[in-house]
């Protein structure tokens, strides 16, 4: 069964836009687990524009499922945070400073030695490692040589072209997944997966271990929960 890890970064974005602690990311993590999430994902960035480093420390004690921390392992502050909080999984993403969102995978050939060092550091602390990669066979093969436990397929291209031709959109991911599995790699996926394209992706890649989804879940929660909240507020005025 493929696990769903809910990324709560957007909860923190909303909080930070106003100041204070509403919405509360710890409360959001507790609720997501209670509602059936198989895990919680956070992606702290150096500028702390959404999830803050303190949030990660506060969330860790309430995790009852699985904790996945994504981030840039070229930042010593990130490395120290992961080793301190010891999540079940760390997902290494090649973000650049100030990058709006993750938009490319690792060049696992060019950065093989660096990745091997980082992966070894986290694995020595008992943390499972996944690395963010594009659905390119050479990058998958390079990932296997780094010693990583899993890869996370960067799925923006699939989501972008899904409505044009879902078969063509998923084709490189099917090939990449098959190669990853043949090399003994676990398989995660994430970025722009949503209620419309997720089922077909899973059906096409049954070997999928985990998907990490945040933005789409928060957007759908606004729409699907909007009526209920308005009615709850109306009741307070009766």
70 catalytic residue (yes or no): yes
Sign of CA dihedral 125, 58, 211, 10: negative
From 50, 66, 70, 210, active-site residue: 70
Structure tokens at 75: 């930042």
Q: Diameter of the chain by CA atoms?
A: 65
From 43, 50, 152, 210, active-site residue: 43
Phi, psi of 103 (to 5 degrees): -135, 15
Best CA proximity match to 151, nearest among 96, 97, 208: 208
167 catalytic residue (yes or no): no
CA dihedral 220, 72, 170, 192 (to 10 degrees): 20
From 50, 66, 152, 191, active-site residue: 191
Structure tokens at 55: 């949030």
163 catalytic residue (yes or no): no
Best CA proximity match to 57, nearest among 23, 80, 32, 84: 84
Residues with active-site annotation: 43, 70, 191
């Amino acid at each position: 069964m493929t696990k769903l890890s809910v990324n709560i970064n957007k909860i923190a974005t909303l909080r930070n836009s106003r100041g204070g602690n509403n919405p509360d990311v710890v409360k959001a993590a507790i609720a997501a687990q209670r509602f059936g999430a198989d895990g919680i994902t956070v992606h702290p960035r150096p500028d702390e524009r959404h999830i803050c480093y303190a949030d990660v420390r506060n969330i860790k004690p309430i995790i009852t499922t699985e904790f996945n921390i994504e981030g840039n392992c070229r930042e010593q502050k990130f490395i120290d945070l992961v080793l301190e909080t010891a999540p079940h999984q760390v997902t290494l993403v090649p973000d650049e400073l100030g990058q709006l969102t993750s938009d490319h995978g690792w060049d696992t050939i060019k950065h093989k030695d660096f990745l091997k060092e980082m992966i070894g550091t986290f694995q020595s602390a008992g943390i499972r490692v996944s690395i963010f990669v594009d659905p390119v066979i050479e990058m998958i093969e390079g990932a296997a040589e780094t010693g990583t436990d899993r890869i996370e397929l960067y799925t923006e291209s699939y989501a972008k072209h899904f409505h044009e031709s879902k078969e063509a959109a998923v084709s490189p991911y099917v090939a990449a997944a098959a190669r990853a599995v043949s090399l003994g790699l676990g398989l995660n996926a994430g970025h722009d997966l949503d209620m419309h394209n997720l089922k077909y992706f899973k059906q096409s890649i049954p070997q999928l271990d985990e998907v990490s989804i945040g933005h789409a879940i928060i957007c759908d929660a606004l729409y699907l929960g909007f009526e209920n909240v308005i009615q709850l507020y109306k009741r307070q005025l009766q």
